[in-house]
C-alpha cells in the first residue's frame, strides 16, 4: 500500500491550505516582478515560451504539483526553495550568516545597515551632489528636466538608454526582441559603469526599470545623488501619449491600469532615492526649479 505522503494514483495531488497559500504567494511574486519589469503577460509568454494561459493560472495561485514537490523537499531539508533550485554557486558562509542577521532587522535598521555598508565598503557618493541621477517612470520628465538641469549646472547630460543604443548598435526594442531582458540588463550595467567612470559631474537620466535590477540600482545609489521624479499616473500617461510612445502599455486595452500597476510595483524601489521631486501639476519651469533646489540642498548638506 502506498504511504499517505505519496500522490493519489490518478496523478493529482491533494492541495492543503498551506500549499494553496504558498502557490498564491508564488503567483503574486511572479505578477509583481512582471509588473516591475513593465512586461505584459503576453510579452512574458513570448520571451519565456510559457503559454499566457499557464501564466494566468500561475499568477492566480494555481501552479502545478511539481512546484509543491520542490517546496516540500526544500522544507524537509530546512532551506529555501530558491537555494535548492538556484544554478549559482553556493554562497560563502559569511554571506549566509550576514543574511540571517539582516533578516532580523527592522526596515529602518535595514536602511541604516545598507548605508553603513555602502560608506564602509562601497564607492563613496560624489561630493556636493555633482553626479545626479534621475529615476522614475517614463513621462516623469527625466529627459526634459535632466537636459535643462544639466545646462543650468553646466555639467554634461547623459541619457542612459541612448548610451545603451550606441554601445550595442541597436535600438532598445531590437535589443529586447533579439536578445531579451538578460542582454539588456547586462548592457545597462556596462553603460552605467562607463558613465560613472567617465563623468565626475553629470546629470544622468536612467531608464524607468533600472531600479528593478538590484545590483545596478545599488551601483547607482552608491555613486550618484539619486532623485525620484514622481508624478500622478494620469500625468505620466498624458506625457507618454504626447511623446507618441505607449511603451510598455502597447497593445494593452487597460493601459492606465497597467501603468498604475507598474508604478505601484516600483514605488518602494523608487522611494530608495536620496530625494523626491513631485512634478505633478507643475509647469516645466516650476519642476526645474524644484529639482535645482533639491540638488542645491544636497550640496549644502
Residue 90: pLDDT band with limits 50, 70, 90: confident
Is the pLDDT reported for residue 98 higher than 70? yes
Q: In terms of residue numbers, what domain contains 29?
A: 17-87
Is the pLDDT reported for residue 89 higher than 80? no
Question: Are 114 and 33 found together in one domain?
Answer: no
Is the pLDDT reported for residue 252 higher than 60? no
Q: Which of 14-23, 180-189, 238-247 has the lowest mean pLDDT?
A: 238-247
Question: Are 139 and 267 found together in one domain?
Answer: yes
Give a yes or no: residue 284 inside a domain: yes
Question: Are 271 and 151 found together in one domain?
Answer: yes
pLDDT in the model for residue 77? 63
Question: Are 158 and 247 found together in one domain?
Answer: yes
| Mean pLDDT of the region 77-92 | 73
Give a yes or no: residue 218 inside a domain: yes
- pLDDT, averaged across the chain: 83
Give a yes or no: residue 177 inside a domain: yes
pLDDT in the model for residue 104? 92
pLDDT in the model for residue 125? 66
Of 87, 121, 146, at which residue does a domain stop? 87
Give a yes or no: residue 249 inside a domain: yes
Of 87, 122, 145, at which residue does a domain stop? 87
Domain count, the chain: 2
Residue 292: pLDDT band with limits 50, 70, 90: very high
Do 224 and 131 form a contact (C-beta atoms < 8 A)?
A: yes
301 versus 33: the higher-pLDDT residue is 33
Strands, E, within 149-238: which ranges?
Answer: 157-159, 202-205, 225-230
Give a yes or no: residue 257 inside a domain: yes
Question: Are 138 and 207 found together in one domain?
Answer: yes
Question: Are 38 and 181 found together in one domain?
Answer: no
Residues linked to residue 225 through DSSP beta bridges, in sequence order: 132
pLDDT in the model for residue 122? 65
| Mean pLDDT of the region 64-68 | 74
pTM of the model: 0.75
pLDDT in the model for residue 260? 84
Residue 4: pLDDT band with limits 50, 70, 90: very low
Give a yes or no: residue 233 inside a domain: yes
269 versus 74: the higher-pLDDT residue is 269
Is the pLDDT reported for residue 10 higher than 60? no
Q: What CATH number did the domain enclosing 24 receive?
A: 1.10.260.40
pLDDT in the model for residue 111? 85
C-alpha cell at 62: 494555481
Do 219 and 192 form a contact (C-beta atoms < 8 A)?
A: yes
Is the pLDDT reported for residue 11 higher than 50? no
pLDDT in the model for residue 174? 92
**Spatial CA neighbour of 138 closest among 54, 262, 224:** 262
Report how far Cα 205 is from the mean position of its chain's Cα atoms. 15
pLDDT in the model for residue 12? 45
Residue with cell 565598503: 121
Question: Are 283 and 168 found together in one domain?
Answer: yes
pLDDT tens per residue across span 212-233: 999 999 999 989 999 999 988 8
Q: Which of 5-9, 38-42, 100-104, 213-217 has the lowest mean pLDDT?
A: 5-9
Question: Are 78 and 141 found together in one domain?
Answer: no
Q: What CATH number did the domain enclosing 158 receive?
A: 3.40.50.300
Residue 92 CB partners (closer than 8 Å, separation 6+): none
pLDDT in the model for residue 118? 77
Give the whole-number percent of the chain exceeding pLDDT 90. Answer: 38
Give a yes or no: residue 7 inside a domain: no
Pairing of strands 202-205, 275-278: unpaired
Give a yes or no: residue 286 inside a domain: yes
Question: Are 55 and 118 found together in one domain?
Answer: no
Question: Are 244 and 125 found together in one domain?
Answer: yes
Question: Are 240 and 130 found together in one domain?
Answer: yes
pLDDT tens per residue across span 158-176: 999 999 999 999 999 899 8
pLDDT in the model for residue 114? 84
Question: Are 83 and 189 found together in one domain?
Answer: no
The backbone torsions φ and ψ at residue 213, rounded to the nearest 5 degrees and listed phi first, read -105, 100
Amino acid at each position: 500500500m502506498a504511504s499517505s505522503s505519496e500522490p493519489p494514483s490518478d496523478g493529482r495531488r491533494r492541495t492543503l491550505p498551506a500549499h494553496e497559500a504558498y502557490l498564491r504567494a508564488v503567483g503574486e511574486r511572479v505578477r509583481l516582478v512582471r509588473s516591475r519589469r513593465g512586461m505584459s503577460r503576453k510579452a512574458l509568454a513570448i520571451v519565456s515560451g510559457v503559454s499566457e494561459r499557464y501564466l494566468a493560472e500561475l499568477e492566480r495561485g494555481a501552479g502545478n504539483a511539481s512546484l509543491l514537490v520542490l517546496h516540500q523537499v526544500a522544507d524537509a531539508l530546512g532551506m529555501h526553495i530558491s537555494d535548492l533550485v538556484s544554478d549559482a554557486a553556493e554562497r560563502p558562509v559569511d554571506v549566509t550568516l550576514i543574511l540571517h542577521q539582516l533578516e532580523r532587522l527592522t526596515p529602518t535598521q535595514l536602511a541604516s545597515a545598507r548605508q553603513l555598508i555602502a560608506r564602509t565598503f562601497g564607492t563613496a557618493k560624489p561630493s556636493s551632489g555633482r553626479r545626479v541621477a534621475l529615476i522614475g517612470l517614463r513621462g516623469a520628465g527625466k529627459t526634459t528636466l535632466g537636459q535643462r538641469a544639466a545646462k543650468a549646472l553646466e555639467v554634461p547630460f547623459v541619457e542612459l538608454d541612448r548610451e545603451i543604443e550606441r554601445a550595442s548598435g541597436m535600438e532598445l526594442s531590437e535589443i529586447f526582441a533579439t536578445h531579451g531582458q538578460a542582454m539588456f540588463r547586462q548592457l545597462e550595467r556596462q553603460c552605467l559603469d562607463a558613465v560613472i567612470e567617465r563623468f565626475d559631474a553629470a546629470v544622468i537620466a536612467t531608464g524607468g526599470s533600472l531600479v528593478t535590477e538590484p545590483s545596478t540600482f545599488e551601483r547607482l545609489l552608491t555613486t550618484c545623488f539619486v532623485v525620484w521624479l514622481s508624478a500622478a499616473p494620469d500625468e505620466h500617461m498624458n506625457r507618454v501619449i504626447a511623446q507618441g510612445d505607449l511603451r510598455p502599455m502597447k497593445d494593452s486595452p487597460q493601459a492606465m491600469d497597467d501603468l498604475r500597476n507598474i508604478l505601484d510595483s516600483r514605488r518602494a524601489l523608487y522611494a530608495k532615492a536620496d530625494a523626491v521631486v513631485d512634478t505633478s501639476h507643475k509647469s516645466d519651469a516650476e519642476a526645474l526649479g524644484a529639482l535645482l533646489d533639491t540638488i542645491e540642498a544636497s550640496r549644502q548638506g
